[in-house]
Amino acid sequence: MSLPLADFILYPFAVINHNYLSWISKVQVNHPAVLRRAQQVQARRTVKKEWQAAWLLKAVTFIDLTTLSGDDTSSNVQRLCYKAKYPIREDLLKALNMHDKDITTAAVCVYPARVCDAVRALKAAGCNIPVASVATGFPAGQTHLKTRLEEIRLAVEDGASEIDVVINRSLVLTGQWEALYDEIRQFRKACGEAHLKTILATGELGSLTNVYKASMIAMMAGSDFIKTSTGKETVNATFPVAIVMLRAIRDFFWKTGNKIGFKPAGGIRSAKDALAWLSLIKEELGDEWLKPELFRIGASTLLSDIERQIYHHVTGRYAAYHDLPMS
């Protein structure tokens, strides 16, 4: 059975039930149709030149400014937080008449052991940018369930208000949808008030059909966001995968009235990429999804390219390396 994407959802959601699970196990994504759509979107020119600076500033407000390295320290996390609070040089913002708009990134994203550092640094900077922590044995998820859950609770205790979890990929690869649902429900409970962002690690799920199914299960289990990748897989966020996830979000919204957020991550480095992602969201879900409550871009180096492009827009030349220090 191969359904076109538009005909996807047939059963009411409400609570997970066996009808629904048996439906999930039969859904098929029309792979060639998704690839065609991805090409179509990618071929389009993104944003008119005169609007670019405004769109780039908008993109800044969607960034989960991320550092996930083995050698992260409290001082590089502190620098990251400063950059989250002051993402674009003040004089550039003045030139665009945006200096009083309090433009910051959407969140900072760190390892659990660095949450305290981030919370402290942001507090010192006098801002309430949320701290997101990865958890559940990120990036592979290969730790015992008990420690994965404890990791969530500890990160929340340290002040993380968003938790980016990874799922057990083999539950997807072997079609154990109910077990996947149960696992994510437990993550949800462990989060308490914190937002749950579920990373599907789509590069390791085998097929677009599995991406759709895992997206649906993650949303049914109570995720606030679904996220493409950890940034550590060999395949990062791609447009075909994103289209499938966005259609799942749309289908879920039609059926339940709940708007779930989307976060592409991994390999998004250039201002041009960021604009392409914004247009994709606009086309697939509409402007109402273009706000930090429903759209994030996970990135570490993207912000410096955006700042470079804004510098160019304002001054007419490209920044020398020392003009835009540290990002």
Ligand X SMILES: *[C@@H]1O[C@H](CO)[C@@H](O)[C@H](O)[C@H]1NC(C)=O
- CB neighbours of residue 268 within 10 Å: 24
Q: Based on the residue annotation, tell me whether 227 is a catalytic residue of this protein.
A: yes
- Of the two residues 231 and 240, which places its CB atom closer to ligand X in the complex? 231
Shortest CA distance to 116 belongs to which of 104, 131, 106? 131
Q: Does the footprint of ligand X cover residue 234 (CB under 6 A)?
A: yes
Closest approach, Cβ 187 to ligand X, in A, equals 12
Closest approach, Cβ 265 to ligand X, in A, equals 8
Q: Which of 232, 263, 272, 291 is catalytic?
A: 263
Shortest CA distance to 164 belongs to which of 128, 201, 127, 129? 201
Q: Which two structure tokens, joined as six digits, stand for 279? A: 């247009």
Q: Which span (43-51, 73-81, 163-171, 317-325) binds ligand X, by CB under 6 A?
A: 163-171
Among 236, 280, 309, 310, interactor with ligand X by CB under 6 A? 236
Sequence-separated (6 or more) residues with CB below 8 Å from residue 206 = 172, 173
Q: What is the enclosing helix (H) or strand (E) of 38?
A: helix 31-43
Closest approach, Cβ 181 to ligand X, in A, equals 13
Closest approach, Cβ 145 to ligand X, in A, equals 6
Closest approach, Cβ 99 to ligand X, in A, equals 30
Q: Does the footprint of ligand X cover residue 174 (CB under 6 A)?
A: yes
**C-alpha distance from residue 118 to each of 47, 110, 299, 301 (Å):** 34, 8, 16, 18
Q: Does the footprint of ligand X cover residue 159 (CB under 6 A)?
A: no
Q: Which two structure tokens, joined as six digits, stand for 260? A: 């779930």
Decide: 113 and 88 in contact? Cβ < 8 Å: no
- Of the two residues 159 and 267, which places its CB atom closer to ligand X in the complex? 267
By CB under 6 A, the residues from 119 to 148 that bind ligand X are 142, 145
CB contact burial 131-154 (16+ within 10 A = b; e otherwise): bbbbbbbbbebeeeeeebbebbbb
Q: Which span (71-79, 81-89, 112-120, 171-179) binds ligand X, by CB under 6 A?
A: 171-179
**Residues 8, 280, 106: CA angle, nearest 5 degrees:** 110
Q: Which of 123, 227, 232, 255 is catalytic?
A: 227
Q: Does the footprint of ligand X cover residue 231 (CB under 6 A)?
A: yes
Q: Does the footprint of ligand X cover residue 87 (CB under 6 A)?
A: no
- Of the two residues 78 and 176, which places its CB atom closer to ligand X in the complex? 176
DSSP conformation letters of 175-187 = T-HHHHHHHHHHH
Active site residues: 227, 263
Chain residues binding ligand X by CB under 6 A are 142, 145, 168, 170-171, 174, 176, 231, 234, 236, 266-267
